[in-house]
Structure 1
Amino acid sequence: MSLSITSLANIAIELQNGISHQDRFARLIRTLRQLLGGDATALLRYEARQFRPLAIDGLAEDVLGRRFALDAHPRLEAIARAGDVVRFPADSELPDPYDGLIPDHTDLKVHACLGLPLFADQNLIGALTVDGMDPLQFDHFSDEELRLISVLAAGALNNALLMEQLENQTPAVAAVPGATRSSSEMVGLSTGIMQLKKEIEIVAGSDLNVLITGETGVGKELVARAIHRGSARAANPLVYLNCAALPESVAESELFGHIKGAFTGAIHHRIGKFEMADNGTLFLDEIGELPLTLQAKLLRVLQYGDIQRVGDDSSQRVNVRVLAATNRDLKQHVLAGEFRADLFHRLSVFPLHVPPLRERGDDITLLAGFFCEQSRVKMGLRQVTLTDGARELLRRYDWPGNIRELEHALYRAAVLARAGKADGEIWLQPQHFQLDTDAGVKPASVASAHHIPAVNNLRTATDDFQRRAISNALDANAGNWAASARQLQLDVANLHRLAKRLGVK
């Protein structure tokens, strides 16, 4: 079997159809998977020594949120270095980044793997990956045919990147020393987060002050970093100050600095945050906690650009853009006389609101994948995979602590799941997540919690319940373990292990 002119033409047509780049990319990999007969395909964007999935087909949804660093994924590094079609042998000892991430094949290793690096003007911009469970899956296709596919895909991806750069009107990341997209990236494709990204792109290129609002843990500092990164000040410092952690006695010195002898303990000159951020950006987190006396002095800096060190009679000019963040309703604090109205209006020239995680839908799954990959790398594991049951639990939870709570929950779950696992491949189950279900899970998922009878031994009761559940599932599915695993929302390999431990198998 080989690719016909018609099939290649179909790929080209798919890349012209669709109302968005995302739609075109989805069509491309869907068509490619059908043509090559693989079990999973992915289009990846390359930047800052990592691959970021743009579109996937046949892979778990959380893959879209994962970021694959070359240093942590030798197969992807091989694709990035190759410059041509890469065919990995079926017995390759290099771990596959998608092991455990192909639904219905989670208990099997990927056997056939193709990598097509994508170039624009000899620069690597991305890759296509095609994976299959059959070791001989792609042997019938020649390198020449696969190169044609990579050329078509590279052209489409390069056009999308050029359009993005024109729309953003921002310099390339490489123009900013040390900058990477991953350091200020907001993972998510929900309507709310996409709108926020557009607003960030609009305001970043200006020099306006920005007030960032949102609940604790939604990622307000991430928004501030994205604004700074997209601004003309990006090569200069972004200085952070948490106003809530400032004792009033030292707050003025922290902001504006002091001279030697200004007060007891001032044994040398010290510059403040405003001087540190000169020609750059100052991010004032929890601005609502700033004392009223300091609010007046901050207002003066915003109006005239002058600062005065504590104990110094002279003033000096600074050129600083101020980004402020709060989880409070500052309008109400203004009405209550707890926050200056004139400062509020100065700061909120361009307000940005970060939506809570519970309003971001499938972004929860993408973020879970992002943190799974981060925990895998930090803990030196081969694989960290979410079971269907774990994904469902995460989607149903309300996340009062937002993204910060999700991140901590994933890391705790990975630590618990790793206990006793020598092979470094862990599956995150619902029981690994220590969530406050009484406060955070939607009522439908805990409706039966009030009817659980009292027990004397929780472990024994849990084991008995799991034995009955497994036995009932096997009876309902005529002894089919794979079907029973799907019903129980477990990986089939984990079901076999659990059944063996419980004495069902």
Structure 2
Amino acid sequence: MTTDSVNQTTASEGSRYRPLLAAARELVRCDAAALLQLDGQVLRPVAVDGLSDETLGRQFPIASHPRFARLLESSRGLRFAHDCGLPDPYDGLVSGQPGILPVHDCMGAPLRLRGVVWGLLTLDALEPGAFETVTPAQLDAMVTLVETGIEAAHTIQEMEARAMREHALAQALRSGRGTTRELLGSSAAMKQLCSEIDTVAVSDLTVLLLGETGVGKDLVAQRLHAHSRRREQPLVQVNCAALPESLADSELFGHKRGAFTGAVQDRDGKFEIADGGTLFLDEVGELPLTVQAKLLRVLQSGEVQRPGSDRTLKVDVRVIAATNRDLPAAIAQGRFRADLYHRLSVYPLVVPPLRERGRDVVALAGGFLEENQHRLGARNLRLSPASKASLLAHSWPGNVRELEHVISRASLRAFTEQRRGARWTAIEPHHLALDATAAGSSGSSQAPSAPPLPSPAHAAVSTGLHAGVIAAGGTLREATEAFQRAWLADALARHHGHVANAAREAGIDRSNFHRTLRKLGMRPSASSD
């Protein structure tokens, strides 16, 4: 991807290109217009006028949208008749309509920047035959106008450091972990976060990302790295909660052959692999105290000593850490080192929960719908107006990850019910099932709190959470173990299988929690952020 094809779905970019669409609509009357920028084999909307906010969260692979493919291949643009059999990508996305309505008349043209195809201008109307009177000269004049505006915008863009950082972000997101996801949203909370990211990214300061589970702290870490001077070097991610205590040393710092049983060869640790780049320590609050001490030494000295080796290695690594834990509280409880906390929180960033991001939820939902549309082979998954209202009214206790799962389930349900030959698949409120989700969350929050690994005497006088287990009879030991199994199962369910969070509720460290589960014959699901 070249500098000319930099693309980010941000409020600043939308404001840059939207006046071009307004000018185009002055020349040709229509119900909606859009600018889509070509990024490899995908078209990304950078500005829309008359289309739903949902559109900005979507990506349009050329291979899946034959109308766009034909427009890109044309020399001067095309008009598609109202009875054209090719599926229209914008069906149901025209805003301000009482329901999901089809587009009846469409036209568009390729846009070129410095001799290279930049993207597409598309115009759509709900009235059949609306563009029959548009002459080739009118279309040429409109294309020239828009191309001139794009040229001016890109000239300014190249003179700004922000444009270069945005390019680095897009490049980084397509590499490494193979994801094209990015930070979407134009809410005040996201603008503030992105501004802070841009401020600290150009430095080498250690950043601590704070926020609830599922808010997208990993995407923030990717953006920080991609905006930094280290963007051409690796971004290495470590999930600290998934590290067994016995192997955490080896994972982070490497080891020499023979350092311990099973160490059959030398191994580079994550600090060495990230040398010159960025190391992202996700769920850093779950690190055992012994590993915290070694991590502190590396941050202080910039030197790594492999277990089993007397030699120290100098490393140049920028550290980004993330946690959903209350680290000051963990410090007070003796579970986290105060000196390490101060080393990590040189520049703390709070990632806002989804419930504080307003209409960002609609744009995010659009992106998830696009992913599910191609995964399922569905045709034009669209949110109904009632569904958008439901999404905006929901409190999203699980944040962006919950939204992703809700949209995936709704897409599957709607696709299963899809009428054969329908032009789109409408996502309705009953597909989202947000009432059931909210009820489940409410019921969970009202459940009586149980003490950590209670004694039999305490269990006997408990509020009745598991009184049936105790009343079932058996020996004292059997009753105790039965109660523990039931309590731990409830704790894991309350935390959606997240072992580290359940362990905190139980008042024991993660390793002891795992040992207790094994002792009781329980097998938890894999933990997540």
Is 1:130 the counterpart of 2:129? The answer is no
Name the TM-score, length of structure 2 as normaliser: 0.74
Q: Which amino acid aligns with 1:94?
A: L
Deviates more, 1:408-417 or 1:202-211: 202-211
- d(CA) in 1 for partners of 2:72 and 2:197? 31
1:264-322 alpha-carbon deviations (Å, 9 max, x no partner): 22222222111221222111000111112111211221222211111112121222111
1:412-449 alpha-carbon deviations (Å, 9 max, x no partner): 011111114344732111111233223669xxxxxxxx
Match of 1:38 in 2: 30
- d(CA) in 1 for partners of 2:294 and 2:169? 36
Name the Cα RMSD after superposition: 2.6
Is 1:77 the counterpart of 2:74? The answer is no
Aligned to 2:162, which of 163, 168, 177?
Answer: 168
Q: What pairs up with 1:187-206 in 2 under 5 angstroms?
A: 187-206=184-203
- d(CA) in 1 for partners of 2:339 and 2:366? 43
- d(CA) in 2 for partners of 1:201 and 1:162? 21
What displacement does 1:368 show?
Answer: 1.0
Match of 1:488 in 2: none
Is 1:112 the counterpart of 2:105? The answer is yes
- d(CA) in 2 for partners of 1:184 and 1:378? 15
Match of 1:90 in 2: 82
- d(CA) in 2 for partners of 1:82 and 1:138? 18
Is 1:144 the counterpart of 2:137? The answer is yes
Deviates more, 1:312-321 or 1:108-117: 108-117
1:461-487 alpha-carbon deviations (Å, 9 max, x no partner): xxxxxxxxxxxxxxxxxxxxxxxxxxx
- d(CA) in 1 for partners of 2:281 and 2:355? 26
Classify the secondary structure of the residue corresponding to 1:365.
helix
Q: What pairs up with 1:336-347 in 2 under 5 angstroms?
A: 336-347=333-344
- d(CA) in 2 for partners of 1:155 and 1:340? 57
**How many pairs does the alignment contain?**
423
- d(CA) in 1 for partners of 2:307 and 2:12? 55
Match of 1:430 in 2: 429
What displacement does 1:54 show?
Answer: 2.9
Is 1:271 the counterpart of 2:268? The answer is yes
Match of 1:216 in 2: 213
Match of 2:57 in 1: 65
> Closer, same or farther in 2 for the Cα pair 1:174/1:224, shift >3 Å?
closer
Note if contact 1:173-1:179 (Cα within 8 Å) is conserved in structure 2.
no
- d(CA) in 1 for partners of 2:255 and 2:16? 58
Which structure 1 segments of 5+ residues have no match? 1-18, 442-505
> Closer, same or farther in 2 for the Cα pair 1:343/1:437, shift >3 Å?
same
Q: Which amino acid aligns with 2:111?
A: L
Note if contact 2:166-2:227 (Cα within 8 Å) is conserved in structure 1.
no
What displacement does 1:328 show?
Answer: 1.6
- d(CA) in 1 for partners of 2:13 and 2:270? 42
- d(CA) in 2 for partners of 1:402 and 1:256? 33
1:314-344 alpha-carbon deviations (Å, 9 max, x no partner): 1212221111111122233334433222222
What displacement does 1:24 show?
Answer: 5.7
- d(CA) in 2 for partners of 1:439 and 1:191? 30
Is 1:300 the counterpart of 2:297? The answer is yes
- d(CA) in 1 for partners of 2:174 and 2:267? 31
> Closer, same or farther in 2 for the Cα pair 1:344/1:79, shift >3 Å?
farther
- d(CA) in 1 for partners of 2:207 and 2:101? 50
Deviates more, 1:64-73 or 1:329-338: 329-338
Aligned to 1:233, which of 230, 239, 244?
Answer: 230
- d(CA) in 2 for partners of 1:314 and 1:113? 68
Name the TM-score, length of structure 1 as normaliser: 0.77
What displacement does 1:61 show?
Answer: 2.6
Note if contact 1:99-1:106 (Cα within 8 Å) is conserved in structure 2.
no
Is 1:330 the counterpart of 2:322? The answer is no
Note if contact 1:62-1:365 (Cα within 8 Å) is conserved in structure 2.
yes
- d(CA) in 2 for partners of 1:254 and 1:21? 41
Classify the secondary structure of the residue corresponding to 2:275.
coil
Match of 1:280 in 2: 277
Classify the secondary structure of the residue corresponding to 2:180.
helix
What is the aligned-residue identity percentage? 46
What displacement does 1:176 show?
Answer: 8.8
Note if contact 2:16-2:153 (Cα within 8 Å) is conserved in structure 1.
no
Note if contact 2:81-2:129 (Cα within 8 Å) is conserved in structure 1.
no
Note if contact 1:112-1:137 (Cα within 8 Å) is conserved in structure 2.
yes
Note if contact 1:184-1:226 (Cα within 8 Å) is conserved in structure 2.
no
